[in-house]
């Protein structure tokens, strides 16, 4: 069975947590596409190589780095993701993963709009910038005011980029997690998938 679930949304909205839970619940493979961009951004910075060349030569081992969840990696990812050549280099990998036998869940920022517009289920997970910044601050620490500024800066860059801007697909179910527990958000996502599978 080929069944694709596209889960998009801004940083720290909960899409990664929801995606992993949905994949586990239905026995589907999971791909955090943001990790691809984080790996490209971090590796390009560390090696001084061109981000496009880095994207074209990305290996599974690059996704195992332990520095991909840092704020710096997130900022690097957002910058390289704005480069159309980097995005193009990673599209085929994502599309092949999405149509693998046994079902797949992909989370990112343009899965339902660009990578997999024909996905069987499209979700857009969001929350207010303040809630997302607080969650990120709890995760990485630092100055919470600065974290909020960085979340807003990243949102502006992701939503206003010319190539594949962050936005919900027209047929996506929007789940606002601002006032939801993890369990409630996961339940809403799983209900949408179960309804489509039925």
Of 7, 5, 6, which Cα lies nearest the Cα of 125?
7
Given CATH 3.40.50.720, say whether it is the number of domain 4-197.
no
23 is in an annotated binding site: no
Query: What is the reported pTM?
Result: 0.86
141 is in an annotated binding site: no
103 is in an annotated binding site: no
The predicted pLDDT at position 137 comes to 93
d(CA 12, CA 112): 18
Taking the chain (198 residues) in consecutive chunks of 10 residues, what is each chunk's mean pLDDT?
Answer: 96 95 97 92 94 91 87 89 91 90 95 96 98 93 94 92 90 97 97 96
CB 22 within 8 A of CB 16: no
The predicted pLDDT at position 126 comes to 98
The predicted pLDDT at position 117 comes to 97
126 is in an annotated binding site: no
165 is in an annotated binding site: no
16 is in an annotated binding site: yes
- DSSP code per residue over 95-133: HHHHT-TT-EEEEESSIIIII-TT-SEEEEEE--HHHHH
9 is in an annotated binding site: yes
43 is in an annotated binding site: no
10 is in an annotated binding site: yes
């Amino acid at each position: 069975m080929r069944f694709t679930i596209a889960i998009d949304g801004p940083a720290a909205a909960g899409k990664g947590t929801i995606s992993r839970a949905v994949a586990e619940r239905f026995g589907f493979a999971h791909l955090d596409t943001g990790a691809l961009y984080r790996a490209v951004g971090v590796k390009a910075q560390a090696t001084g190589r061109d981000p496009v060349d880095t994207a074209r030569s990305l290996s599974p081992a690059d996704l195992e780095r332990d520095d991909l969840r840092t704020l710096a990696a997130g900022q690097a990812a957002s910058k390289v993701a704005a480069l159309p050549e980097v995005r193009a280099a990673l599209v085929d990998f994502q599309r092949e993963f999405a149509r693998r036998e046994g079902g797949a869940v992909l989370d990112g920022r343009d899965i339902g709009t660009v990578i997999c517009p024909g996905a069987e289920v499209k979700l857009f997970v969001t929350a207010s910038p303040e809630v997302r910044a607080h969650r990120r601050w709890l995760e990485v620490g630092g100055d919470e005011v600065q974290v909020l500024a960085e979340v807003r800066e990243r949102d502006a860059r992701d939503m206003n980029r010319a190539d594949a801007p962050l936005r919900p697909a027209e047929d996506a179910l929007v789940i606002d997690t601002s006032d939801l527990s993890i369990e409630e958000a996961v339940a809403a996502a799983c209900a949408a998938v179960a309804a489509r599978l039925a």
